[in-house]
Amino acid sequence: MLLNLIIRGATVVKIIAHRGFSGIAPENTMAAFERAIAIKADGIECDVHLSKDGKIVICHDTTLMRTTNGSGSIQDYTWDELQAFDAGSWFSPEFSKERIPSLERLLKLVRKTDLLLNIELKTETIFYPQIEEKVVALLKKFDLVDHSLISSFNFQSLSKVKVLLPELATAALIKYPQEVINFWEQMSALKVNAIHPCYLGLTTDIMDKAEKRGFQINTWTPDQPEEISHLLKLQTHGIITNFPEKAQQILRQEKGVNSETSRD
């Protein structure tokens, strides 16, 4: 399983492109995913919903207004209807041909690479019938189970995924673990492989507790150099960022400094 390669203390922290390379292209579009692959990011994170006719579609919000020229909820449109909306011009006119992609299209792209694919199920506020089953079926179809990680703020969704396919890696999304009662016991009960906390609350104590219990930590969403450098010092397993290329550069610089220090 590719996830097992993300080891605390390893020489390379995994850099995961948040909604693709969303710092330079419209988030959760093929343009953003292709740019993440072009810079050789270690992974891609995306968000999924279901269309009215049950197609798995990639978008962060439950509604269309922020990232397309449409309005209303994704679940109220069929796949064909969703394809009428421009998903790129809000970011820049050069992306006016971008459309909301299907998860299947992204999987066809990713299967040609060694990327880790982090799929977030957006089920915390909307019930999507059998979305877990549909995602698992697609990952099996494209032989990407060993290269995928399912995350969600909805712990019931994560539990369901583990029942459907125990070997599929899962991650609990949480803003600040230290604010949740019996957090670590909950994580153990869920049998998650990783925890995805907000970088603002990540501490050495959380890293130590996660390591003691066998959980990996992939944190979101640092974009500033000083934030990324701090997380590298904490030895987080993965950094989920809108600017993966910047994170790669900082990682190379940090490795260079450490190499020089070790020779002194």
The catalytic site residues sit at 18, 60
Distance, CA of 242 to CA of 19 (rounded, Å)? 7
Distance, CA of 7 to CA of 117 (rounded, Å)? 17
R_g of the chain, CA atoms, integer Å = 18
**Alpha helix (H) ranges present in 153-199?**
155-164, 183-190
Cα angle 45, 49, 55; round to 5: 115
What percent of the chain is helix, strand and coil (3-state, nearest 5)? 40, 20, 40
* 13 secondary structure, DSSP code: P
Helix (H) or strand (E) holding 194: strand 194-197
SS3 assignment, position 57: strand
End-to-end CA distance of the chain: 37
The pair phi, psi for residue 111, each rounded to 5°, is -65, -15
Distance, CA of 125 to CA of 264 (rounded, Å)? 54
Tokens coding 142: 């494209």
* 102 secondary structure, DSSP code: B
- Looking at the DSSP bridge assignments, the partners of residue 151 are 120, 171
